[in-house]
Chains A and B, each alone.
Chain A
């Protein structure tokens, strides 16, 4: 059973860059045809997909965030990471990492999630 665990700072200042890491256990970030995602949820609100990195290294980002987001992978540590630059209060949210497995009839569901980490943007 794969497990994902987010780590990173809980408080970041406006205009700074957020860096979060997702550590994967019970599976490999290099496993063929998996997508490794970041999703966020502002307090009391809905879910917003941030982007993914595919097991072959290809990335894709939400157009609404694309200019500020970078997702990368470290296969030696079995981790993938998120950077969000130019933070504002609107980026305050619980950030989740999540996996999309292969062979799901093209529906690309998020089948495994980390527990989430609350990031507050405030001076």
Chain B
């Protein structure tokens, strides 16, 4: 299986801060990375697919970048409603697709 290592596992930032979450793949996976936001007790919500394409309806403060093994999710200006856990997911190998361990984002 392709392993997705996410960092940090948690972070605390102030409203308006720029927040960056990183995901590293255990092998090159082109641009086959998707990012999700999960609030407690709810299903994950797709934010970014194909490394950098914003899903319809997602605020433009969210962006994604990277290719190969290193990928980044950026929140340009953290808002209170962005408090959640974020997961990356690779689909380069569909057998199986795998997720990162998650990054919990809190407001300082």
Contact = CB atoms under 8 A, between A and B. Distances in A.
B31 interface: yes
B70 to A, nearest CB: 16
Interface string A71-100: 000000000000000000000000010100
A108 B33 CA distance: 9
Interface string A33-63: 0000000000000111100000000001011
Mostly helix, strand, loop or mixed at chain B's interface? Answer: loop
A106 interface: yes
A76 B10 CA distance: 45
Interface residues of B, number: 27
| Chain A interface residue number, banded | 20 to 34
Contact of B33 (A62, A64, A107): A107
B91 A96 contact: no
26 contacts: A46-B99, A47-B87, A49-B96, A49-B97, A49-B99, A62-B96, A98-B43, A105-B31, A105-B49, A106-B50, A107-B51, A107-B53, A107-B91, A108-B34, A108-B91, A108-B97, A109-B55, A110-B46, A111-B49, A111-B55, A113-B43, A113-B45, A114-B43, A115-B43, A116-B42, A116-B43
Nearest first, the 3 A-B pairs at minimum CB distance are A113-B43, A109-B49, A107-B50
Interface of A: 46-49, 60, 62-64, 96, 98, 104-111, 113-116
